[in-house]
Structure 1
Amino acid sequence: MDKVIKHSKINSFADDTRISKRISTMDDCLLLQQDLEYVMEWSKDNNMMLHEEKFELLSYRTPASKATAEALPFMGAVNSYTTSSGTTLDRSTIVRDLGVNMSEDLSWSPHINMMVDQARQIASWVLGVFKERSKPLMVQLFKSLVRSRVEYCCPLWNPAKIADIQAIESIQRHFTRRISGLKNLNYWDRLKELKLLSLQRRRERYMIIHVWKILHGICPNDINMVFKENPRLGNKVVLPPITSRATSLAKTFYDNSFAVKAGKLWNTLPRDVNTQKTLECFKIKLGSYMESFPDNPPTPGYTASNHNSLIDCCSQRGGPQMAR
């Protein structure tokens, strides 16, 4: 299929395919429509029926570009792509892509809100079905049925907004409060009692592990992450550059991107952790390293001594410098 595409980018996973193109002029709209037609012709030639009624259109736009785009004379054509049956594709504000809700404004808040709502429903079901509130049972139920709902693909959408972090953390905070003997403890103390990491700290752990897998070729380095060997500090990530003329919005996207956020997290690791050659040994060393920092996630009514990210904790402690 990708051989018939001439003007756009195409990505596929199993039976999900997406075509993307930057739209700057009316000609770009026509070229994207042309590639869409090429794909539909290809499917007929190869006796493979596409579910055209399931086609979705998502236009990524920042608030500033959205205001500008609405004033362009060809803006109507951007939202009027058609299928071979003559059906016009209506622009969607949110599209579910491989289990992750992608928003047109490049925000992860809609996905996080939907995910949190689903997790709350599962948590309510668990608490309604199981009457026992013992620590072993409740922790096992939470890990297997609830926590997995709020960690799927988390290195991609890891939030930076305090409100989003608190919304996700509230799932574990409310559930652990129902465990026998822990009701009168604050959330931070309940985490210590149950030997649990905050969901915020677990997401950072997943990001660091993914960087290790990129470094050792287990996962594809599709973001072109660059590593540099330092005799004293071990393996460090060279953070991608950003122009000083970048807008504040661009800098925010830059700081919250996986390439930068995961790179900074990785660069907090000491040499005896980031030079581990096997995943099992790396996870053990990483666990011990993370336990050396207090885990005080943002919680309504409590003031943390730091922002709880390993980046902030390491900065306060005076950890390794980050390569650029």
Structure 2
Amino acid sequence: MLTLYKSLVCSHLEYCSPLWNPAKVYDIQELEGVQRTFTSKTHGLQHLHYWDRLKTLSLMSLQRRRERYIVMHMWKILHGLTSNDLEIQFIVNPRLGTLAKVPSVRTKSSAAHQTLYETSFSVMSPRLWNCIPSHIRTVSKHDGFKHHMTAFMLSLPDKPPIRGFTPPNSNSILDWRNDREASALWGGQQL
């Protein structure tokens, strides 16, 4: 079942996903619903919650996979393997490694336009790139980068928004990084 899902269904759900990556919770829930339904039909896993099925099957949520593809595309831009049509700039910081410059948000536009701008590839991709650990950003081989990115993504809790359940946050790796930083700042104490 998993092989059929990955080859026939998932490929359609992820085609060109860095470009059309949805930001609205409703849209994320609709996409996750496809994977949630499919994994619920896997023999022996029907009794598990979707989040537990993901962990058992060593799958990432579709939201997490889209973010992984965005970061991998940023790596390709950095190493000149794909065009940089959006003119994304990278800055080398001696302490933090190679960071992407996040364009400033235009504050004179309407709230709806600001939201669209903030969720666009040119703004979201540098934010995602900057939140991954610096030791992963320095990997120069494509296969090694993919391996490290997958291991990093699987190490984070993956609780995508699904209908009927409220996750602890939006499940973006940006949120998990912020939660980790807050936890480290306060010594693991609850705020």
TM-score with structure 1 length normalisation? 0.55
- Residue 210 of structure 1: which of 62, 73, 82 is its match? 73
Structure 2 residue 35 is the aligned partner of structure 1 residue 172: yes
Structure 2 residue 111 is the aligned partner of structure 1 residue 248: yes
- Greater relative contact order (Cα 8 A, min sep 6): structure 1 or 2? 2
Aligned pairs for 1:1-324 (under 5 A) are 138-318=1-181
Q: For 1:285 and 1:260, how far apart are their aligned partners in 2?
A: 23
Contact residue 226 and residue 238 of structure 1 kept, 8 A: yes
TM-fit CA distance, 1:240: 1.3
Contact residue 234 and residue 270 of structure 1 kept, 8 A: no
TM-fit CA distance, 1:291: 1.9
Any idea what the Cα deviations from partners look like across 1:154-209, whole Å, max 9, x if unmatched? 10100001111011111110011111111111100111111111111000000000
Paired residue secondary structure (2:131): coil
What RMSD, in angstroms, separates the aligned Cα atoms of the two structures? 1.1
Q: Please say which structure displays the higher CA radius of gyration.
A: 1
Identity over aligned pairs, percent = 47
TM-fit CA distance, 1:233: 1.1
TM-score with structure 2 length normalisation? 0.92
Single out whichever of 242-251 and 194-203 deviates more from structure 2.
242-251
The number of residue pairs the alignment matches comes to 182
Paired residue secondary structure (1:239): coil
Any idea what the Cα deviations from partners look like across 1:43-92, whole Å, max 9, x if unmatched? xxxxxxxxxxxxxxxxxxxxxxxxxxxxxxxxxxxxxxxxxxxxxxxxxx
AA matched with 1:211: M
TM-fit CA distance, 1:227: 0.4
Paired residue secondary structure (1:221): coil
AA matched with 2:121: F
TM-fit CA distance, 1:241: 2.1
Contiguous gaps of at least 5 residues in structure 2: 183-191
| Structure ranking higher in helix proportion | 2
Q: For 1:147 and 1:299, how far apart are their aligned partners in 2?
A: 17
Contact residue 255 and residue 261 of structure 1 kept, 8 A: yes
TM-fit CA distance, 1:304: 1.2
AA matched with 2:107: S
Paired residue secondary structure (1:235): strand
Q: For 2:16 and 2:151, how far apart are their aligned partners in 1?
A: 24
Paired residue secondary structure (1:318): helix
TM-fit CA distance, 1:317: 1.0
